[in-house]
Amino acid sequence: MHNILLRSSCRILLFLSLLFTLQTTAQTVITYHNKDIEGSKDYVKGNDYQKDFLLFMDMLQTTHPAFEKGAPINVKKELKQGYKSCGKCESQKAFVYTLQQVAAKMHDGHTGLQTSLNSDVYYPMHFYIDDKGMYLDAVLKGMESSLGKQVLKISGKDMSFIYEQFRGFFSTTNDVDYKKTFKNYSNSYYLWKELGLCEQDSSITLSFTDGNTLKLKPIKIQNKDISKVDNKSQVQQMRLRAGGMPFSFQILDGGICYMLFDQCADRNTLRQQYLPQVAGNEKLLERLEQQLKRIPVFTEFLDSMFQTMATQNVKTLVVDVRENSGGNSTLCDELLCRLKSSIIGPRVSVRPSHLAEAYYQAAGLDKSLLYSATDTHSRLQGLASPFQGNVIFVQGERTFSSAGLLMTMAIDNNIGIAIGEPASYAPTHYGDMISWSLPNTQTKGYISHKCFVRPDETKEQDIPLANSLSTSFQDYQKGIDPCFNWVMENFWRQRN
């Protein structure tokens, strides 16, 4: 959230059951209409799927910033093919698949469809992917003998072929983002069925390097039904000790402060997000405040952390954002302001549209903000005496959205170094999602309406890593964390 809007699908903590309920039931969603489209010949004669497809295509062109500089997709071709395809749709799932194929071509992880309609049954599996291949790291209980094996084929098709078949469905920014998304959603039975990759009885057969096979059928899955690779690295143990908080820190031997920054959300930002949804309901308001008491205020957390570091003469700060998929970027700004006295921020351009205006009005936001953006690089005033020690940022494939912006601003402002995996986010990217629905099918999704240009515009779409450290499946199984080990080996010695 760049001071105003949520920039990613907020990963609310599991124990905040009330907040999760509010998110799924009371989110601001705008039903999209356009009188010109709804009066057109194709709209009038079309079925409900065709009608909403025309509205979806119009919304994409009139709302997404990418269309301000020319069409990023072949609109004429997509309209012709999509309208014809929707004429044959027999279910809303098939319709969602058709729309998502268009959204995927935007290469914007903040624009796409809500795919919960496809979340009825799954294949009980999850893959781990490293440079050598794909491994089964989760499977249905009773099938543990296959856990940890490398998968060569599925239903007779090479894994490289299977991997590429899903690409047209996922809205991803780059190859790293696609790999992450594939791992999360490649167990969806509906996608296998739609792609024609499963067998006639809906099953799939995994073939392993040891010559054995495993046949899986789609089922309704609960976490208790799944066995996973047990991999308790030292950082994961820290996370468990932190009790699921969005951020925490520990002072390690050797004078290192290890900060886990797992979510860009704190008590104040969550209150700002959910307070309008409980306004006027005293019972819900009281429950909200009780839940929020368990979440720290980020500024208070930072005060405590840096004071502890000063007291113990800690000279190295590690900020681990490998699990951080985004949230409210004001928290990122607050952290950076403790690390440098003057910071250049992104250049933000906003695309005004009828959808954006309707969203701002419904969300109680000032519509003039759509037209007052300066499209210049912002500047942040940090502390006069910022932290002077070593700063190491650790990123992973799940680092995204506001957390990706944190990494970009840190590197472009020469704040510390970055290590870890290549980025799944784009340093210059689209964002600030608006949630929408279509009137005839009630299909829901989200779309960007801003463009964030990295502070150093001379750089391309990458974040230079001081050390690229990916975790192999063997390390993952053993609980070895190359990033943590590299920090301890290189900075523990500096103190001793």
| C-alpha span between 57 and 101 (Å, rounded) | 12
Residue 224 has a pLDDT of 78
b/e 284-299 (16+ beta carbons within 10 angstroms → b): beebbeebbeebbebe
Specify the CATH number of the domain 1-112+229-496. Answer: 3.90.226.10
pLDDT band (50, 70, 90) for residue 21: very low
Q: Mean pLDDT, the chain, as a whole number? A: 90
pLDDT digits (tens, 9 = 90+) for 24-74: 334 689 999 999 999 999 999 999 999 999 999 999 999 999 999 889 999
pLDDT > 70? residue 446: yes
Angle of the 282-292 helix axis to the 267-278 helix axis, nearest 10: 170
Calculate mean pLDDT across residues 336-350: 95
Domain parsing of the chain, residue ranges: 1-112+229-496, 125-219
For 386-493, where are the E strands, in sequence order? Answer: 390-395, 417-420, 429-437, 444-453, 467-468
* H or E element that contains 227: strand 226-228
* SS3 label, residue 206: strand
Residue 119 has a pLDDT of 58
pLDDT > 70? residue 320: yes
pLDDT digits (tens, 9 = 90+) for 229-263: 988 899 999 999 998 899 999 999 889 999 999 99
Q: Which of 17-21, 161-165, 322-326 has the lowest mean pLDDT?
A: 17-21
Domain 125-219 is of which CATH architecture?
Roll (2.30)
pLDDT more than 70, % of the chain? 93
pLDDT band (50, 70, 90) for residue 375: confident
Residue 3 has a pLDDT of 30
pLDDT digits (tens, 9 = 90+) for 453-494: 999 999 988 899 999 999 999 999 999 999 999 999 998 855
pLDDT band (50, 70, 90) for residue 313: very high
pLDDT more than 90, % of the chain? 79
Residue 462 has a pLDDT of 87
Q: Give the residue, 11 or 418, on which the prediction is more confident.
A: 418
pLDDT digits (tens, 9 = 90+) for 128-183: 999 999 999 999 999 999 999 999 999 999 999 999 999 988 999 999 999 999 99
What region, left, alpha or beta, does residue 389 occupy, with left being phi > 0 and alpha being psi -120 to 50 degrees? beta
Residue 5 has a pLDDT of 28
pLDDT digits (tens, 9 = 90+) for 271-300: 988 887 787 888 888 898 998 999 999 999
Q: Which of 147-151, 339-343, 429-433 has the lowest mean pLDDT?
A: 429-433
Residue 244 has a pLDDT of 87
Cα dihedral sign, 142-147-152-153: positive
Token code pair at residue 418: 């970055």
Calculate mean pLDDT across residues 75-104: 95
* Dihedral angle computed from the Cα positions of residues 66, 67, 70 and 76, in that order, rounded to the nearest 10 degrees: 120
Pairing of strands 467-468, 417-420: parallel
